[in-house]
Each structure stands twice: as C-alpha cells, then as structure tokens.
Amino acid sequence: MPNVTVTRAQLSEAVYQEVGLSRNESADLVETILDEVADALAKGEMVKISSFGSFSVRQKGQRVGRNPKTGEEVPILPRRVLVFRASHVLKNRINQGMAEAEGAVAS
C-alpha cells in the first residue's frame, strides 16, 4: 500500500467539489478549521470531531533516556505532546477498508 499524504490543497479541492464553495472560499474554510483546532490545542483544550476522533495535549514529565549509539544517559526535558485517539467509527472504517483491500488482493 503506497504511503500517500493528504495536503491542505487536496482538502480545499475536496470541499470545493463536495460543497460547491469557490476555490478561494474552500481554501479559507479549511485554513479556518485548522487554525481553530491548532488554537484550541495550544490552549490545552481537547478537540473532539464526531465520528473521527479526539485530539488532546498531554504533559510528559522529565525522564532519563539513553543515546542508542553510546548508551550514555541523557535527560529528556518535560514537554507537551499531541495525542490523537480515533473514534470507533473511524477504526471500523479503516479496518473495513483493509478487509476490502485484502479481498481484492486475494481475488
């Protein structure tokens, strides 16, 4: 299965095709949505998108890690990390897509 990336331009084009807004309005809508999600996450808020999943920011404490080349212990500083948890609807859709792809390969 090829590793394909979906870009902002492709999202804008999909909105243009499906909703019927102009290309500029579609691009602005996609940018606005992404900005709102990023702003909420930057404030530490959780973002839930129904039937898709939820994004949240988790605080990780300081810990000791190892340099894999030298084995030397290195402190890893506390930081915030982005976490995505897929909804059951999305998980089922992904697994259904895998089953269909495997069925097509087996035929």
Q: What is the pTM of this model?
A: 0.75
The three-state secondary structure class of 33 is helix
23: left (phi over 0), alpha (psi -120 to 50) or beta: alpha
Name the percent of the chain lying above pLDDT 70: 92
- As a whole number of angstroms, the distance between CA 88 and CA 86 comes to 7
Answer whether residue 100 shows pLDDT above 90: no
The C-alpha angle 102, 105, 107, rounded to 5 degrees, equals 110
> What DSSP letter does each residue of 41-57 carry, written as one string?
HHTT--EEETTTEEEEE
pLDDT digits (tens, 9 = 90+) for 65-91: 999 999 999 999 999 999 999 999 999
